[in-house]
């Protein structure tokens, strides 16, 4: 595919200017930038869809921001945004449109894929999900023995697991507590065993979630689930119909597995796995929080979509955060981003973002098939605060690497108790402050620290961070937050001139595993043709596994 801006990324005038500007700015401390502009902390902020962003603690000046926006323009970001929203096949290596934004479009919207409006299909599935969720939640849907469903087990992996788990944890406050939710993803059998060991099959509903319905882990777990159910409830064909539903784009494979397609909720190839938590893949989420809250979640996504599509880049949250991460990655040498939610309900948000960001922009090939000559996707990681403070923050404060941080906090606790929330918020503000401003040798000495100890107690500071502050964690705010990161990834991909929507890098390992399975299971020693290390490991495993 030809990029619409064929100039090499590093030859764009704004890129060259940013490189020179970055060399100068490396020596400038945030202390100086704040001292020079008393209103900086109010000026470098933006707000949309219920999220307030303070990006003033990044190592940027007005000149940096001007150049970054210029880079976005030179990279054709506006045209790419329009191409995505209008259903162009921008995932050109798979010949697919990229339309997760259609999943949250209002009923009366029109979005064409190959000349067909996809919005009515989206709402038809949402309506079926609503009906099903209402029946399960009200007890109208009964299991094979007539008992109500008390347990819902989602079987899926990657995008068919991480979104549902994250959303379930994030929105637990709004969930139906009489229903128990479990998530099985790993092909390690223990995941299934532990998830079902205390469940009654007569009260258990499995949702088999897989876009392709070919994923080894999910199909293996689904087979074990079917065996477990039939062992508990007898092998009547109706057992599967009452206790299994599927979410997939692949009708043929779902029925080949034995699930009645009347119990299938569909989506489409223009929804990437890691962009699918608001499609039918969100069925477990809807069962947990109810259809109304699920629609509020979609509204939050949509509000952020509209902001991304229409706001000027200078005020556009995803564009600003995307550009700042490019600045930190390509011009200040950062290799990671820490996402640090000060909200325990968001404990799985960093794990969710790992797939969203790294499966999208972990790329070395440009749209026109060349090898990139610059860094692309940084490593995303994180833990909720304040836990992370007592674990890895030491390295962020005093280590040799530059680790930009995204802090996320809420003005209200969902269930306030005692002083907890003020203490939590004091910590998040303090961390961002400490990272930016540090503590000088003079300040350390002034505290009476002996000279020999001073270098150990100095904080250089000048560590960049964003702080996102919202009112409270509602379904709508969660939707806005997820859409924010989806569009950050999009913005980064546009600048790096890569396709964030394919994931060929996961294929090789899958193919090799398929080749190794029979070599492990063969009753006679197989002829091995791998490298000497892999051959040796296989032989050793075969020997060990025959020993009791």
Set 169, 203, 217, 359: catalytic member? 359
Instruction: Annotate 264-286 with three-state secondary structure.
Output: EEECCCCCCHHHCCCCHHHHHHH
Q: Which position among 243, 274, 303, 307 is part of the footprint of ligand F6P (CB under 6 A)?
A: 274
Our answer to whether residue 359 is catalytic in this structure is yes
Our answer to whether residue 443 is catalytic in this structure is no
Size of the site for ligand F6P (CB under 6 A): 14
Encoded one letter per residue, x for contact with ligand F6P by CB under 6 A and - for no contact, window 231-270 reads ----------------------------------------
Set 26, 420, 510, 543: catalytic member? 510
Q: Which position among 58, 204, 210, 329 is part of the footprint of ligand F6P (CB under 6 A)?
A: 210
| CA–CA dist 501, 361 (Å, integer) | 8
The answer to whether residue 467 forms part of the interface with ligand F6P (CB under 6 A) is no
Question: Which stretch, 156-164, 238-246, 314-322, 456-464, contacts ligand F6P (CB under 6 A)?
Answer: 156-164
The answer to whether residue 140 forms part of the interface with ligand F6P (CB under 6 A) is no
Report the residue number, 151 or 503, with the smaller CB distance to ligand F6P: 503
Q: Which position among 215, 285, 330, 431 is part of the footprint of ligand F6P (CB under 6 A)?
A: 215
| DSSP-derived 3-state class of residue 339 | strand
| CA–CA dist 5, 71 (Å, integer) | 11
CB of 354 to ligand F6P, least distance (A): 12
Could you tell me if 280 and 247 are in contact, meaning their C-beta atoms sit under 8 angstroms apart? yes
Of residues 320-359, those binding ligand F6P (CB under 6 A): 359
| CA–CA dist 449, 546 (Å, integer) | 62
Cβ neighbours around 177 below 10 Å, total: 8
The answer to whether residue 503 forms part of the interface with ligand F6P (CB under 6 A) is yes
Q: Which position among 76, 143, 266, 273 is part of the footprint of ligand F6P (CB under 6 A)?
A: 273
Q: Which position among 46, 155, 157, 246 is part of the footprint of ligand F6P (CB under 6 A)?
A: 157
For residue 354, CA distances in Å to 158, 164, 281, 542 come to: 10, 15, 18, 34
**329 DSSP assignment:** I
Residue 52: phi, psi to the nearest 5? -105, 130
Cβ neighbours around 335 below 10 Å, total: 14
The answer to whether residue 21 forms part of the interface with ligand F6P (CB under 6 A) is no
Set 26, 32, 238, 390: catalytic member? 390
The answer to whether residue 212 forms part of the interface with ligand F6P (CB under 6 A) is yes
Our answer to whether residue 5 is catalytic in this structure is no
- H/E element holding 405? strand 405-410
- CA atoms lying within 13 Å on the CB side of residue 14: 20
For residue 523, CA distances in Å to 47, 529, 532, 537 come to: 63, 18, 21, 17
Which residues are catalytically annotated? 359, 390, 510
Positions in the binding site for ligand F6P (CB under 6 A): 157-160, 210-212, 215, 218, 273-274, 359, 503, 506
């Amino acid at each position: 595919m030809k990029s619409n801006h064929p100039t090499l990324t590093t030859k764009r005038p704004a890129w060259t200017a940013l490189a020179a500007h970055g060399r100068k700015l490396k020596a400038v401390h945030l202390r100086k930038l704040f001292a020079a502009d008393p209103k900086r902390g109010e000026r470098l902020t933006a707000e949309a869809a219920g999220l307030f962003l303070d990006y003033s603690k990044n190592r940027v000046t007005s000149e940096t921001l001007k150049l970054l926006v210029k880079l976005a323009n030179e990279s054709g970001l506006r045209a790419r945004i329009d191409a995505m929203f209008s259903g162009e096949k921008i995932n050109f290596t798979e010949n697919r449109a990229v339309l997760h934004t259609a999943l949250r479009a209002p009923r009366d919207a029109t979005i064409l894929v190959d000349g067909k409006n996809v919005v009515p299909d989206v709402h038809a599935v949402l309506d079926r999900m609503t009906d099903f969720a209402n029946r399960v939640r009200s007890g109208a849907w009964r299991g094979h023995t007539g008992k109500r469903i008390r347990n819902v087990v989602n079987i899926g992996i990657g995008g068919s697991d991480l979104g549902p788990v994250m959303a379930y944890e994030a929105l637990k406050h709004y969930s139906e507590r009489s229903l128990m939710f479990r998530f099985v993803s790993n092909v390690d059998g223990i995941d299934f065993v532990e998830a079902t060991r205390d469940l009654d099959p007569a009260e258990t509903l499995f949702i088999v979630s897989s876009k392709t319905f070919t994923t080894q882990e999910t199909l293996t777990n689904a087979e074990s689930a079917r065996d477990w159910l039939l062992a508990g409830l007898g092998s009547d064909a109706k057992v599967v119909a009452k206790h299994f539903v599927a979410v997939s784009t692949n009708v043929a494979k779902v029925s080949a597995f034995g699930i009645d397609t009347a119990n299938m909720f569909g989506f489409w190839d223009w929804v990437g796995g890691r962009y699918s938590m608001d499609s039918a893949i969100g069925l477990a989420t809807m069962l947990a929080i109810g259809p109304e809250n699920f629609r509020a979640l979609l509204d939050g996504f949509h509000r952020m979509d509209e902001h991304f599509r229409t706001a000027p880049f200078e005020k556009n949250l995803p564009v600003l955060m995307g550009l700042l991460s490019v600045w930190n990655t390509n011009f200040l040498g950062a290799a990671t981003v820490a996402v640090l939610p000060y909200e325990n309900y968001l404990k799985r948000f960093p794990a969710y973002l790992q797939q969203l960001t790294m499966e999208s922009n972990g790329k070395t090939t440009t749209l026109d098939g060349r090898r990139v000559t610059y860094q692309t996707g940084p490593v995303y990681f994180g833990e909720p605060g304040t836990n992370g403070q007592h674990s890895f923050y030491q390295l962020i404060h005093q280590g040799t690497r530059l680790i930009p941080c995204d802090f996320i906090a809420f003005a209200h606790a969902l269930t306030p108790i005692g002083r907890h929330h003020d203490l939590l918020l004091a910590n998040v503000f303090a961390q961002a402050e400490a990272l930016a401003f540090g503590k000088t040798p003079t300040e350390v000495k002034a505290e009476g620290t002996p000279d020999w100890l001073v270098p150990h107690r100095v904080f250089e500071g000048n560590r960049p961070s964003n702080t996102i502050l919202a009112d409270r964690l509602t379904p709508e705010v969660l939707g806005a937050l997820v859409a924010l990161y989806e569009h950050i990834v999009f913005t980064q991909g546009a600048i790096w001139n890569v396709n964030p929507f394919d994931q060929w890098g996961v294929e090789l390992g899958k193919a090799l595993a398929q080749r190794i399975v029979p070599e492990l299971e063969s009753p006679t020693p197989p002829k091995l043709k791998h490298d000497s290390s892999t051959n040796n490991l296989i032989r050793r495993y075969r020997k060990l596994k025959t020993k009791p």
